[in-house]
Chains A and B, each alone.
Chain A
């Protein structure tokens, strides 16, 4: 019987910093047979990336394997020399790294980077290296390989760069590929195509695949076995069907609840329908916006960010704007906030035309509409305490001072479910989810009627996303807020939206009630977006068991 290709036994990895030891991976065991696919699932800090580094012998100098064994192709590499490791890297085990945008050398041509990998396996300057480069680039699905080989990374899109990285991984003819979050930096539709392609290449060559991901859906769809990690330990290890149907660990259940394809999200409570004749809180009428792109060879070109966009947001309801990068969804928000002026069309707030208002004329309206930004790590001034951040709008509008201000701050903290003692903390002392709660509290300080939510959870771990979304839903129900939610993630949209607007390259693809757009989409693009959600294959396979489970999102809400 052949030994497994990758065999990890009770592996422990320890980081040492300032005399303290942190255990990033604890007692972890796994094995991957030739031709098999293993998915390792975990959130940030789960140790999955450390595990990937350990598999390549590329642990940082302050980390080391403190116990356990690591065998690759039957060879014990636990304490192998750098020379031994170099023979393994690229030839036995190849890497497809996380972020294609920064994983290629920016000052070297594509062809040379692929050729370097080939030369590593076949010796320097072997004849036919150029032909092999072109063949590989064609194999990973790049058009006009000869042109691509001459280009630099910045001339290629993210998806194309990820294909180049797959070509680099395949160049050494490895027996296994480790893909570390290979698509999390890409748009959903591109993500699906790349994963399909990777899977197909791996099957065609009969090699093993280790996918490292935060998305249980991706794992369930594509793996023969799934390993769920939390805080450095394996909490679940088994076939996807079994992991999905009878998750043993509460953490797995939580992850399942958050994965779009498995989440039985109860649609948001039906909002009070607007009284006849009432005006929408926010209305965009036929908005168009173009940006000048830096001139290429003398001729100035325009980039149409938005074309004839119309939308309405009503009190107590959520309008979701869905689209991939470059769809113009963020531009729509900036126009509504008066940060940009449209080329055509009108912006109305509560019936008032605000299109041409100057900044100071717009200022009073800011008490009624507020923004929650995308990245909670940059949205708070690092020098401000939570208190200073939260009350800043109240101070700016000179609403309150002194003890009343402190009391208002405590009330806001209560609204976003944070302890009042956190008011003293600095942003760096908070987790991502806590920071986003602070940002929400700041947006609520002026008691606005409309909140604009710009990808409010995209920077957060999946399990935290659910909590923030639940908070937003609760706040809407209590305060009767109108939300305009911008997101690329249909799971997020599904849990909050009453109306959905789908944007693609500045054009409205579909606009209507959430149930209709997400349930019976009539445009092909919306169907493609929905189809790209990972985990559906597995969900279909497990359909019956899943139906028996209580709706996880609802369960989560009850738990709170």
Chain B
């Protein structure tokens, strides 16, 4: 039988939130794959903030004498048609690419979360209306919707980011709504309501924290998808204009030299693949950890 103390000793204190976070994160950090993926994504993020940390060449200096050189110790990814160091261009390209992807996901997260929470929580006609709107947005293929937006507001990194972001709103809205609906009917939410908690505090204290997990996983996945989508739009020529370094533009540029110097196109692409794959791996690991 449990021990019953006779006096109310003040020995007990609530355990800190940080401590619990550390306990939850520790098992993840012991997986080599997860750590590697995390390191790569952190590298991309740091490169976006301070590219000079990782590269010694200027990404815009042209050295015609060294054009189209194969990867070597001096130029890890080789050089392009103007003799610029490709590795530096990839590192510096992180700024525009990561900025676009994070802006897109941030925008989608904000709108999608709001729509999903309102829809799932209020239900009824508001829900029906929002869900029809989401159906309509789903019916518009992502890239085409982005193309329409770019047509209307012009080319460039920011328009592309907005366009991509709008395209991934429906996914967030749907996931959030489904989670809110699931959590809303759970017994502990009912218990909180019967314990006198208001809808607002139930939403903030029980529904959102417990609905957050799958949305966070989706957000991580979508950063990867947004990198691919912005790169795609840049590849088509709607993103950052040359000579700006951006991952999609880098790959597009190299197309002309595919026969003679395949690395100009393929190596920056491989880097993008690795970053996106890492993001997917992180999302998947987080998802497994939640179960």
Contact = CB atoms under 8 A, between A and B. Distances in A.
Direct contact of A and B (CB under 8 A): yes
Interface of A: 337, 339, 363, 366-367, 370-371, 373-375, 378-385, 387, 389, 392-393, 396-397, 406-407, 410-411, 414, 417-421, 423-424, 426, 439, 442, 445-446, 560
Given A363-B196, A424-B14, A414 B187 contact: no
27 contacts: A339-B190, A370-B195, A371-B194, A373-B190, A378-B186, A378-B187, A378-B188, A379-B187, A379-B191, A381-B188, A381-B192, A383-B209, A383-B210, A392-B197, A393-B196, A393-B197, A396-B198, A396-B201, A414-B5, A417-B2, A419-B4, A420-B9, A420-B12, A421-B11, A424-B14, A446-B196, A560-B1
Given A378-B188, A383-B210, A424-B14, A414 B195 contact: no
Nearest to A395: B197
Residue among B3, B190, B192, B195 with max Cβ neighbours from chain A (10 Å): B195
Contacts of B192: 381, 392, 396
A255 to B, nearest CB: 18
B206 interface: yes
Interface in B1-35: 1-5, 8-12, 14-15, 20
Interface in B176-216: 186-188, 190-192, 194-198, 201, 205-206, 209-210
Given A379-B188, A384-B188, A424-B12, 9 more contacts: A380-B188, A381-B188, A385-B15, A392-B195, A393-B196, A396-B195, A396-B197, A423-B12, A439-B191
Contacts of B14: 385, 387, 406, 423-424
Contacts of B201: 396
Contacts of A367: 196
A373, A381, A417, A560 — most chain B CB neighbours (10 Å): A381
Contacts of B205: 381
B12 A375 contact: no
Contacts of B1: 417, 560
A397 B193 CA distance: 11
B191 A417 contact: no
A477 B38 CA distance: 58
Contact of B195 (A366, A374, A560): A366
A371 B193 CA distance: 11
A-B complex: 7 closest residue pairs judged by Cβ atoms: A393-B195, A396-B196, A396-B197, A381-B188, A378-B187, A379-B187, A424-B15
B105 to A, nearest CB: 24
B148 to A, nearest CB: 40
A389 B3 CA distance: 21
Contacts of A379: 187-188, 191
Contacts of B198: 396
A420 B197 contact: no
Nearest to A454: B187
A388 to B, nearest CB: 8
A383 B209 CA distance: 8
Contacts of A406: 10, 12, 14
Contact of A366 (B4, B196, B209): B196
B210 A382 contact: yes
B196 A381 contact: no
Nearest to B213: A383
A373 B187 CA distance: 7
Contacts of B10: 406
A371 B191 contact: yes
Contact of B8 (A339, A370, A385, A411): A411
A63 B190 CA distance: 39
Contacts of B194: 337, 339, 366, 370-371
A411 to B, nearest CB: 7
Nearest to B207: A381
Contacts of A384: 188
B191 A373 contact: yes
B151 to A, nearest CB: 45
A43 B206 CA distance: 33
Contacts of B4: 414, 417, 419
A439 B206 CA distance: 16
Nearest to B196: A396
B222 to A, nearest CB: 24
Nearest to A366: B196
A390 to B, nearest CB: 10
Interface in B198-252: 198, 201, 205-206, 209-210
Contacts of B187: 373-375, 378-379
Contact of B210 (A381, A396, A417, A439): A381
A373 B192 CA distance: 12
A383 B17 CA distance: 11
B8 A407 contact: yes
User: Which one of B4, B191, B205 has the highest number of Cβ atoms from chain A below 10 Å of its Cβ?
Assistant: B191
B79 to A, nearest CB: 49
Nearest to B197: A396
B206 A381 contact: yes
B127 to A, nearest CB: 18
A397 B5 CA distance: 28
Interface string B262-280: 0000000000000000000
A296 B248 CA distance: 55
A421 B15 contact: no
Contacts of B195: 366, 370, 392-393, 396, 442, 445-446
B200 to A, nearest CB: 11
A373 B205 CA distance: 20
A446 B194 CA distance: 11
A504 to B, nearest CB: 26
A381 B187 CA distance: 9
Contacts of A419: 2-5
A555 B210 CA distance: 43
Contacts of B11: 420-421
Contacts of A382: 210
Nearest to A439: B191
Contacts of A396: 192, 195-198, 201
Contacts of A374: 187
A421 B15 CA distance: 10
A218 B188 CA distance: 34
Nearest to B212: A383
Contacts of A418: 2
A446 B197 CA distance: 13
Nearest to B1: A560
B291 to A, nearest CB: 12
A361 to B, nearest CB: 13
A389 B20 CA distance: 17
B188 to A, nearest CB: 5
* Of B12, B190, B210, most A-chain CB atoms within 10 Å: B12
A181 B188 CA distance: 29
Contacts of A417: 1-2, 4
A472 to B, nearest CB: 16
Contacts of A421: 11-12
A442 B191 contact: yes
A410 B12 contact: yes
Contacts of B206: 381
A476 B210 CA distance: 34
A392 B14 CA distance: 14
B3 to A, nearest CB: 5
A55 B5 CA distance: 48
Contacts of B8: 407, 410-411
A385 B191 CA distance: 15
B289 to A, nearest CB: 13
A387 B17 CA distance: 13
A396 B198 CA distance: 8
